[in-house]
Structure 1
């Protein structure tokens, strides 16, 4: 073999080995995390783990949940990251999740971990990240102009002066919407919950397919009242929107963003790495930039525009009940109220 040929061959082998060494494992991750936070989380994870390339598939909670269920027999995702715990409980019931105990799991608040872990000592099917909490966004300028007072309770939204001035999310497509419906039923019981929603429906101008949209619409003055969640309202108020956040007297429904490995993934090692990072102190400090309640005790610092007693205002949510009854409740909601939903 001549020297030029040997040199070319050595170069080719070197390039091939280098390519192999730097080739990233690609994970497909389904998420409902808010877009402005997703980029921040993704960048921080990539800094720590440049050997893992993530293909993010983002949509609202209801859409992602429906997509995962439709793909049950042919899963396309490797990891679910930042989806409602109620959705993950539903998926776990369908045996679609791969149990895994991330490194550092024992440091988390137990209520942010699949109950099977503390009850039976089994690896959890899912782990929580942070809690998002129901709130009302009220536009002070439009409210004064239209003679619509600032509400203090959920019941206030059924009063005649609010007719046509309330927007809330459709629970079939929005996790925030389902959080509201399930929490009202847990606060008052199903019969009274449906009665409340019948009266509220009379005042609704439309139902959106995004949980953050009602607050964004209140911030721009397109509605006076948006039933949404605290994270979005707090951020918009900090950016100068003329809104007040209302935390209704009766109590605040909530759900948690959570993560899990999809059963059957052939990227198990990389998936575990993402779950390890998701429960880390570093990740929880990032979550706390927008959410007042996170899974890692001692991390959460006060968030601007949140009440200091936000945890005390959160209801004793039964996520298992919400997951088991989800399909039945959504079907009934659709039958009663879908006529005011915006087109997709």
Structure 2
């Protein structure tokens, strides 16, 4: 492995003890309870793509036709801000498929409740909370990749890209699109990786220079890949599978993983800390790491978090080898400062809000 994966370790203190659900509840040492339900209604916040949500929920609805799932879908940044704003009066029951770095921020603030879903022992240690009763559980990982439209690159006579420094070549001025880390999890993991790989001072200097070549910052992590695919830009800083799927669909793109390594994050699930836990939330979280759910996730993000991943379709090698040593604890604690600094420096190039 290029850089040994760092076990995701948190050094946070649980701010409030778990409340009992009812006087007759029976919880085991993992926080599991006998109050799971197979009928009812729950509210799920997610940053998963709309088309993914509908496909995944078909599987859930087949298994639990008497549970109505109300989905609130937004980008990672918006979901994170919403969860933090609602922390003292939570509206969601469950978070599904939202960046682990965001989950850690909420966990630090006492917004998550420990729960060990059925089958959690299948999840590799580096992909879930290290607490005795995990406060979040990862389902899949995604990593920074550069998506190049080969036709546009040839037309513009753009140089080859292998490293982060290559993106600073003046030939790329106005031809690169990247996502805004305030709204996009992909944008945040990319900026976080630069700061970790280069150090904060040098990292911000690098991002200053990169900004000179950026045409626009999008609010979606997959949009730069789609724009490169359609020829709207020559180079999109996106994530691996977004580019690979465009290539599979016949787009004239090349997907490049930079030689220094890729920033990455996990899509994770968590139980929201509320005075009264919705019993169907446990049922949903159990399903959300089931074999059938994992098989669906793997169709969109080949890096899933169980220990039986098998082949990584579309990748030339094992994508785990590409992932940098990621300090999630630092990323979570530094998140606000990173986003504030980024906004002050580069937000003028962000696309207009829809």
- TM-score normalised over the length of structure 1: 0.89
Match among 221, 243, 247 for residue 231 of structure 2: 221
Q: Aligned partners of 2:285 and 2:199: how far apart in 1?
A: 36
Aligned partner of 1:47 in structure 2 is: 62
Aligned partner of 1:338 in structure 2 is: 347
Write out aligned runs for 1:22-101 (5 A).
24-101=39-116
TM superposition shift of 1:301: 2.4
The question of whether the paired residues in 2 share the 8 Å contact of 1:140 and 1:150 is answered with no
Q: Which runs of 5+ in 2 are unaligned?
A: 1-37
Match among 272, 293, 297 for residue 283 of structure 1: 293
Q: Closer, same or farther in 2 for the Cα pair 1:265/1:257, shift >3 Å?
A: farther
Structure with greater helix percent: 1
Match among 204, 212, 223 for residue 202 of structure 1: 212
Q: Any idea what the Cα deviations from partners look like across 1:178-225, whole Å, max 9, x if unmatched?
A: 000101111111111111101100100111111111111101100000
Match among 298, 319, 322 for residue 328 of structure 2: 319
How many matched pairs? 317
Aligned partner of 1:19 in structure 2 is: none
The question of whether the paired residues in 2 share the 8 Å contact of 1:136 and 1:229 is answered with yes
Q: Aligned partners of 1:104 and 1:84: how far apart in 2?
A: 21
Larger RCO (alpha carbons 8 Å, 6+ apart): 2
Match among 114, 117, 121 for residue 129 of structure 2: 114
Q: Which has the larger radius of gyration?
A: 1
The RMSD of aligned alpha carbons is 1.5
TM superposition shift of 1:24: 4.2
1:164 aligns to 2:202 (yes or no): no
Write out aligned runs for 1:98-247 (5 A).
98-116=113-131, 122-247=132-257
Question: Tell me, what secondary structure is at the counterpart of 1:293?
Answer: coil
Question: Tell me, what secondary structure is at the counterpart of 1:33?
Answer: coil
Structure 1 stretches of 4+ moved >4 Å = none
Question: Tell me, what secondary structure is at the counterpart of 2:259?
Answer: coil
- TM-score normalised over the length of structure 2: 0.87
Q: Aligned partners of 2:139 and 2:147: how far apart in 1?
A: 24
